[in-house]
């Protein structure tokens, strides 16, 4: 669903860039309230997994193809604000290598990141809390959100094309919704399976995910020692490798145009999907398999490495704060015992000595 350049008028594209930029900035600010320490490894690996998954297109009817978008998946696991940041980062990298236009980046971010995250969030808001606290139901609702959000993204993209007066409204909506309804079914199945897998591996992430959805989670509220979740993290790492290999070497991957590209073909509309090549800089178009494999591998490794570094700093800060809290608690306990036994407080005695000196 990556919209190329040359379809939207520059003024319309600029409006979408401004709207998307404002919401992304708000998301960065709000993400402090929607992430626990134990979720940080999941965030980095999830970003890499979604980036790899979007390179793999599966065939759908009518000569088209689709790929996992992952906005509902990210929102269900780490909340809407972090989900928006993840998808925005992925879209920016993809725009650099020619997958989606640079001027259309605002529209793509609005459609694929922001709309999908908010639709998923609104769906979970209307679900009773007792249902959200069950792993199976939560995963199913995430899948339903994946389907509905895919349709919503298609609606927004079709509306943008209609506003640009590049096509007939009815024909655009018909093709976009029809194709993306099929793609949305695959999105729902994949989202449900991954969410259930993550919660099955570590059920405590269910509570963390629910807190992230409703801005109840902060790094400071996470009282337990943060473990490294080897099973879900390495499971996601494995999925990165599988998707990456399938997409790079074309294993069972479809070369058909995706839903938006197929719609544009039917409407006889052509865009300029060239990344930096349109501006005189090299981009990903025209690279051979080896070049693409090397670049994509470096990007995926960088995403996971940055996540690990951030997690390491957070754990270090967490342990430091925990040691300070433990020292304060021990001092308070000692003071209480001294008061009970009518023994002068050690801390006060030290203070008096300093005063005498």
| Residue pLDDT, tens place only, 323-353 | 665 665 665 666 566 666 665 555 445 555 4
Per-residue pLDDT tens over the stretch 282-322: 555 555 555 555 565 666 566 656 656 655 655 566 566 66
As a whole number, mean pLDDT of residues 271-290 equals 53
Is residue 117 pLDDT above 60, yes or no?
A: yes
As a whole number, mean pLDDT of residues 36-42 equals 67
Confidence of residue 227 (pLDDT cuts 50, 70, 90): very low
Element (H, E) at 58: strand 58-60
Confidence of residue 148 (pLDDT cuts 50, 70, 90): very high
Q: Which of 46-60, 128-142, 162-176, 285-299 has the lowest mean pLDDT?
A: 285-299
Is residue 9 pLDDT above 60, yes or no?
A: yes
Confidence of residue 147 (pLDDT cuts 50, 70, 90): very high
pLDDT at position 286, please? 52
Closest CA to 28 of 38, 20, 37, 18: 20
Is residue 228 pLDDT above 50, yes or no?
A: no
pLDDT at position 44, please? 73
Confidence of residue 150 (pLDDT cuts 50, 70, 90): very high
Confidence of residue 257 (pLDDT cuts 50, 70, 90): low
Q: Domains plus CATH for the chain?
A: 10-301 (1.10.1760.20)
Is residue 224 pLDDT above 80, yes or no?
A: no
Per the structure block, which two tokens stand in for 128? 């009773």
Mean pLDDT, all residues of the chain:
71
Q: What sign does the CA torsion over 273, 55, 252, 75 have?
A: negative
pLDDT at position 63, please? 72
Rounded CA Rg of the chain: 24
d(Cα 211, Cα 191) in Å, to the nearest integer?
Answer: 19
Element (H, E) at 66: strand 64-66
Residue 274 DSSP symbol: -
Confidence of residue 250 (pLDDT cuts 50, 70, 90): very low
> Higher pLDDT residue, 255 or 177?
177
Three-class SS of residue 8? coil
* Global confidence as pTM: 0.70
pLDDT at position 342, please? 60
> Higher pLDDT residue, 204 or 280?
204
Residue whose entry in the numeric block shows the structure tokens 């030290």: 350
Per-residue pLDDT tens over the stretch 42-85: 777 777 778 777 777 777 777 777 788 889 998 888 888 888 98
């Amino acid at each position: 669903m990556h919209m190329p350049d040359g379809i939207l008028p520059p003024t319309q594209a600029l409006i979408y860039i401004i709207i998307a930029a404002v919401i992304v900035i708000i998301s960065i600010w709000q993400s402090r309230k929607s992430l626990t320490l134990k979720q940080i490894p999941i965030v980095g690996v999830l970003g890499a997994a979604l980036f790899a998954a979007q390179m793999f297109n599966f065939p759908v009817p009518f000569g088209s193809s689709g790929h996992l978008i992952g906005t509902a998946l990210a929102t269900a696991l780490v909340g809407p604000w972090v989900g928006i940041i993840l998808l925005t980062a992925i879209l920016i990298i993809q725009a650099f290598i020619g997958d989606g236009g640079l001027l259309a980046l605002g529209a793509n971010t609005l459609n694929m990141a922001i709309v999908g995250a908010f639709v998923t969030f609104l769906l979970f808001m209307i679900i009773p809390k007792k249902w959200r606290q069950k792993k199976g139901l939560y995963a199913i609702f995430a899948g339903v959100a994946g389907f509905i959000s895919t349709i919503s993204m298609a609606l927004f993209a079709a509306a943008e094309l209609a506003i640009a007066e590049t096509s007939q409204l009815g024909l655009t909506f018909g093709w976009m919704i029809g194709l993306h309804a099929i793609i949305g079914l695959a999105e729902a199945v994949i989202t449900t399976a991954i969410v259930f897998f993550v919660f099955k591996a570590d059920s405590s992430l269910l509570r963390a995910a629910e807190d992230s959805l409703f801005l109840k989670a902060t790094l400071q509220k996470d009282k337990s020692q943060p473990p490294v979740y080897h099973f879900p993290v390495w499971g996601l790492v494995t999925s990165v490798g599988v998707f990456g290999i399938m997409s790079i070497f074309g294993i069972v991957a479809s070369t058909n145009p995706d839903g938006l590209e197929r719609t544009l073909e039917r409407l006889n509309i052509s865009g300029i999907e060239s990344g930096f090549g349109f501006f005189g800089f090299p981009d990903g178009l025209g690279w051979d398999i080896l070049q693409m494999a090397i670049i994509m591998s470096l990007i995926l490794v960088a995403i996971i490495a940055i996540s690990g570094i951030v997690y390491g700093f957070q754990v270090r800060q967490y342990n430091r704060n925990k040691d300070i809290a433990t020292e304060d608690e021990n001092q308070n306990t000692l003071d209480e015992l001294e008061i009970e036994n009518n023994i002068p407080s050690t801390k006060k005695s030290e203070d008096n000595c300093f005063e005498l000196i």
